[in-house]
Structure 1
């Protein structure tokens, strides 16, 4: 597997946003749910200015992305997005992007990573050592709560 990490380019915002939505849909959500998530999962100019946004390429194709931003505390980074293209899932890209995210967070002086996850992804984060610390309201679906996890770096 020839996996390459590189910074995301602003001109890729549309394609990367579409990848986020396709990846979200693997959890079995219907079209109305995905439509409700569109605004939250759409990348804009501010995403390229305010955070670290990495793309994983597999065999020359964009296969995933990770977005790392400031967290809720001075030595905490937050994983804003981690999405893998459905056709590339199950090939270790999630773990590879998490390794990139942890390294990037440590380079910024973070000692922990804050993650607000899709309930379907919680098991993945727990397998890599994160622990559940609470719940947070969804930014897309009123009344829905999401697991909050913490990963010591």
Structure 2
């Protein structure tokens, strides 16, 4: 379910990004224009085949200043579901599938879901402490907890 949710959120992010409409400043234009509204930002802007950082920020990417000074603590959760691009999404979802299936068989869906969400929140808090000038997105914090749990029990 987490893979489906992450892929669905990525499609929504790319739909909102709408590169052909919102990207008039680059001569080369969007990558994979045949996807229309879902096409990717130019590789100069996002080499991971994904949306612009402005779109990610608008949809809930973790930005230290907005969490601390803007009272937008909800970004600690929403950033877990955002991915920087197709490459980022594939790497995270493959890790989730390979590690998550084994953990789910051993501990059950509810426990694994709680581990995923709580460790994702913890990863977001650590990111907020160390990445103060840029945005942060992705499920890497949650996946690191998964791999640690699997190392001890798989």
Q: TM class, shorter-chain normalised? A: under 0.3
More strand by share: 1
Name the structure, 1 or 2, with higher relative contact order (CA <8 Å, separation 6+). 2
TM-score, scaled relative to structure 2: 0.27
Which structure is higher in helix share?
A: 2
**Which TM-score applies when normalising by structure 1?**
0.27
